[in-house]
Amino acid sequence: MPNKVLTPENWKALDPVFEGLFNFTPRGVEAMVDQDVAELVLSVDLNALTHVPEGPRELLQSAQGVMVYGALYYPLLTVGVELCGRSGEAALKARAQQVGIELWEPRGQRPPVQMGYARLAKVLEQAGHIPNPEWWAWAREHRNWASHPEGQSVVTLPMAIDVLRSYAEGISALFPT
């Protein structure tokens, strides 16, 4: 699927990918518009994440914001999904700091090194601070997919919303209220 070629005249127009998609409304079947995309993405309520530290919460909010603008430029849905992976990693670091786990590991005579995602998740799990280790294993794979691309990936709107919702739930569960 080719990307929309942006111009000063069309950058605020609905991405042509959405042409031909329809929404079922009380008035009947209607063509999807940018407002529909925004409402679907914003149906994932991130306002309930007030117990999540600011860093990962703001990354997740940024992911959602980027996805909203996917209505105007479809590849932004994928960028938003990729940002979700970063929010997961930031959440692990924030949780480790909350529970007093040092993020930097000593290496003898060499300078300390910051724990990577997999090691940090394992340390948190062993300490009893990962409520759903299978989800965090998936989140790590997702983050790796996003961080090491072989080219432009494309996700669908329902996929993007599912990933956003999944990260909101996974990150929320990491920080007990």
Q: How confident is the model at residue 25 (pLDDT cuts 50, 70, 90)?
A: low
pLDDT of residue 24: 67
Q: Which residue has the tokens 């007093």?
A: 100
Q: Say whether 131 sits in a helix, a strand or coil.
A: coil
Is residue 130 assigned to a domain? Answer: yes
Give the span between the Cα atoms of 52 and 169, in whole angstroms: 11
Region label for 14, one of left (φ > 0), alpha (ψ between -120 and 50) or beta (otherwise): beta
Average pLDDT of span 10-34: 77
Q: How confident is the model at residue 63 (pLDDT cuts 50, 70, 90)?
A: very high
Is residue 108 assigned to a domain? Answer: yes
What total number of domains does the chain contain? 1
Q: Say whether 150 sits in a helix, a strand or coil.
A: coil
The more confidently predicted of residues 51 and 148 is 51
Q: 85 is in which domain, residue-wise?
A: 16-174
Asked if pLDDT for residue 22 goes beyond 80, the answer is no
Mean pLDDT score of the chain: 91
Is residue 42 assigned to a domain? Answer: yes
Burial class (CB in 10 A: 0-12, 13-18, 19+), 23: middle
Average pLDDT of span 50-71: 95
Average pLDDT of span 1-26: 81
AA identity, residue 13: A
pLDDT of residue 154: 86
Asked if pLDDT for residue 127 goes beyond 70, the answer is yes
pTM here? 0.88
pLDDT of residue 160: 94
Is residue 159 assigned to a domain? Answer: yes
The more confidently predicted of residues 89 and 34 is 89
Is residue 85 assigned to a domain? Answer: yes
pLDDT of residue 3: 86
Asked if pLDDT for residue 42 goes beyond 90, the answer is yes
Is residue 7 assigned to a domain? Answer: no
Is residue 4 assigned to a domain? Answer: no
Give the span between the Cα atoms of 69 and 136, in whole angstroms: 27
Give the span between the Cα atoms of 63 and 162, in whole angstroms: 13
pLDDT tens per residue, range 134-169:
999 999 999 998 888 888 888 888 999 999 999 999
Burial class (CB in 10 A: 0-12, 13-18, 19+), 64: buried
Is residue 6 assigned to a domain? Answer: no
C-beta separation of 130 from 139 below 8 A: no
